[in-house]
Amino acid sequence: MQLFKAILYGGDSPLAGAPVDVVLSGDCLSINAKKIHVNCDNIIMSVGGFDHNEFFLHWYAPTGEAYSLKLMGKTDITFIMANAPPSLKQQFNKWHQRQLSIKLVWASLSGIAGVFVLSLGLLWWQYDAVLSWLTQQVSVRQEEQLGKSVLAQIESNGDLVKQGLAFDTLKNIGKQLTLNSRYHYQWFIKKDKTVNAFALPGGIIVVNSALLAKADNADELAAVLAHEVQHVEQQHALKNMVNSLGWAAALMVVLGDVNAATAVIAHQLGNMYFSRDSEDEADRLGLQALIHAKIAPEGMVTLLQKLAKEPGANPPEWLSSHPDIAQRIKTIQNLLKERPCKACQPLLIDWKKIQQDNAFFQVQS
Amino acid sequence: MSQISYQIEGSDLQYVEVVLPPGVSVVGEQGAMMYMDANIEVSTVLGDGSQSAYGVAGRFFKALKRSLTGESLFSSRYRNESLTPQRIAFAPPIISKIVAVDLAEMGGGLICQKGAFLAGEEGIEVKLAFQKRLRVGFLGGEGFIMQRITGKGVVFINACGALKEMILAPAQTLQVDSGCLVALSPTVTYEIKYAGKVKTALFGGEGLFYASLKGPGKIWLQSLPERRLSIELMQMATLGRTKGIAGKLYLLLIIVIVVASFFAELNK
């Protein structure tokens, strides 16, 4: 004789059910208050309710009327499980399985969500490492093709110089700085009145003629080349592209707006500038390359000092994506102070002769 | 016994007029008030105005959860401050019928589809009822989130189309098209069944799955789920641009030309 409380539905009980005392004895279930006696063989159990966690016992009276008994709480269910006749016991396992399967599904779902969030966090944290890994997957040949396609546009203007004394000097200094590199470097002088030099992916380095005129010695040119070579070696252009592609993809997913994503890519492709971090990295590694090649590294400082005196060279730092020139000079000077290069020698090149070279005058015209 | 008396007016587009005895208040969905007598005082409450054991933060969290069920973060409380009964009427914002449910009769709880709550006596709480079974959430037509309305007194719920009230006997099962379920007792088992007939699903217009509701308990069904109505209206709005027979013939001509050129390309 076991007594437990439950709610009875069906018969003359109200819509919300009637609380009753139920007695389970042998293989018979009795509700004395309602004069109901059911054989356990006739009872079907089910799990239901809106939350799928409620336990029902169904049966039909001899008159055909349907009844349901809702058990109240886990303790009652375990109590009945322990004392039920074998015919009901088998059905009880279903309830457990249902509970377990719901738990399993939600546990695995939250696990997947957790892994997703964790990997997003990891990506945020190790963004630079991921970016480098991605760009390393691009082969040198593909990078070269990318650079060549941009070069073709510049070349079509007919401003590129590929011969003469200045060109040869440029090539020689460049070779000293790029020993053992996996890239096949190409060097060009461009007829241009802005003091500038730039690098294209795959090892194409272009120096504007105005920069050659501005430089006072070969060391300064070497400093510029060392800096630009590092943009190539560190794949900065490629990293920029992957970066903007990633942002575009994220924008597309979040906003569902293809136009915004395209705008990001278009903006990136239209601008060949590098972030402050990239410039700093190129400065730092360029300096090391100069020291490694035993070229006097002071040229980097003197050239930057000259650039700083140019009109309009110093926009407020927060406005510019380029690091402030004064800041760069200071950083390089500090690095030089920490590790002075005693073996380094100024390049033995007659710089005046180069600047007076015919080919160079041709460039200037 | 409920403190208020009410009258549901209108045949297809309904509103409900509630008579408030002195000192009694009702809580309504924001913007649902249609008209009211002069001596009713309106105040804005967070969520459904119910208290929480965790103070203000708890009340805010409750209101936030409530707002996920298709209600606004705040609701309006209408209180009769006079000594005579005052009237107030609520009208739902969509083409809908209203049913009044006495929660005492339901055993204190009711599950409704998202956004079904219109108004109710003060003390009634609208909570979030989360569907724990994935297939019911995805295929049942009501989503993962429904409303669990608890408390004492009368609550007014609204839904689009004609509403059918039905009592399911213990173990009695009813098959319902997904999306047609408006409200159910918490004791009703809401499951998804596979129709098993791909041909019917593809060409018969019925879904591949239907909801199965098993008693004991009470259910309310709607003849026209809003989603179905909006799909129909959307189709009319987009297809309606080609007016008359000429436009359709023109379309047919284009299709014929495209198909013909395709075949010509194939036979080259």
Contact state of A9 with B170 under an 8 Å Cβ cutoff: yes
Instruction: Find the closest chain B residue to A69 by CA distance.
Output: B170
Residues A131-148: what's their mean pLDDT?
Answer: 87
pLDDT digits (tens, 9 = 90+) for B54-103: 888 888 999 999 999 989 899 999 999 999 999 999 999 888 899 999 99
| Percentage with pLDDT > 70 across chain B | 92
The partner residue sitting opposite A67, judged by closest CB among B132, B170, B185, is B170
Q: Is A64 helix (H, G, I), strand (E, B) or coil?
A: coil
User: Is A357:A163 a contact under the CB 8 Å cutoff?
Assistant: no
A153 pLDDT exceeds 60? yes
Fold of A2-92: PH-domain like (2.30.29)
State the best of A50, A57, A67, A101 to mutate against chain B, taking most chain B CBs within 10 Å.
Answer: A50
Contact state of A16 with B132 under an 8 Å Cβ cutoff: no
pLDDT at B254: 85
Residues B227-249: what's their mean pLDDT?
Answer: 76
- Write down how long chain A is: 365
Q: Which residues belong to CATH 2.30.29.30 in chain A? A: 2-92
Residues B173-202: what's their mean pLDDT?
Answer: 85
Pairing of strands B181-184, B117-121: unpaired
Band (B39; pLDDT cuts 50, 70, 90): very high
Please give the structure tokens belonging to residue A221: 């040119």
Check CB contact of B188 with chain A, cutoff 8 Å: yes
Per CB-CB distance under 8 Å, the chain B contacts of A10 are: 169-170, 216
User: What is the C-alpha separation between A19 and A25, in angstroms, rounded?
Assistant: 19
Band (A357; pLDDT cuts 50, 70, 90): low
Per CB-CB distance under 8 Å, the chain B contacts of A68 are: 170-171, 215-216
User: What is the C-alpha separation between B88 and B90, in angstroms, rounded?
Assistant: 7
User: What is the C-alpha separation between A226 and A173, in angstroms, rounded?
Assistant: 9
CATH architecture for segment(s) B5-224:
4-Layer Sandwich (3.60)
Q: Is A316 helix (H, G, I), strand (E, B) or coil?
A: coil
A365 pLDDT exceeds 50? no
User: Is A308:A326 a contact under the CB 8 Å cutoff?
Assistant: yes
A148 pLDDT exceeds 60? yes
Check CB contact of B127 with chain A, cutoff 8 Å: no
**Cβ neighbours, 10 Å, residue B59:** 19
- The mean pLDDT value of chain A amounts to 83
User: What is the C-alpha separation between A209 and A207, in angstroms, rounded?
Assistant: 6
pLDDT at A45: 83
Contact state of A68 with B186 under an 8 Å Cβ cutoff: no
Contact state of A15 with B107 under an 8 Å Cβ cutoff: yes
Contact state of A66 with B107 under an 8 Å Cβ cutoff: no
pLDDT at A317: 47
A88 pLDDT exceeds 80? no
Smallest Cα–Cα separation from B188: which of B178, B202, B177, B174? B174
State the best of B142, B174, B187 to mutate against chain A, taking most chain A CBs within 10 Å.
Answer: B187
CA count, 13 A, side-chain hemisphere, A92: 17
State the best of B106, B132, B219 to mutate against chain A, taking most chain A CBs within 10 Å.
Answer: B132
User: What is the C-alpha separation between B102 and B262, in angstroms, rounded?
Assistant: 65
Residues A220-242: what's their mean pLDDT?
Answer: 89
Which residue shows structure tokens 């965790």? B54
Instruction: Find the closest chain A residue to B190 by CA distance.
Output: A50
- The mean pLDDT value of chain B amounts to 88
User: Is B32:B90 a contact under the CB 8 Å cutoff?
Assistant: yes
Task: Please tell me the distance in Å from A269's CA to the nearest CA on chain B.
Answer: 39
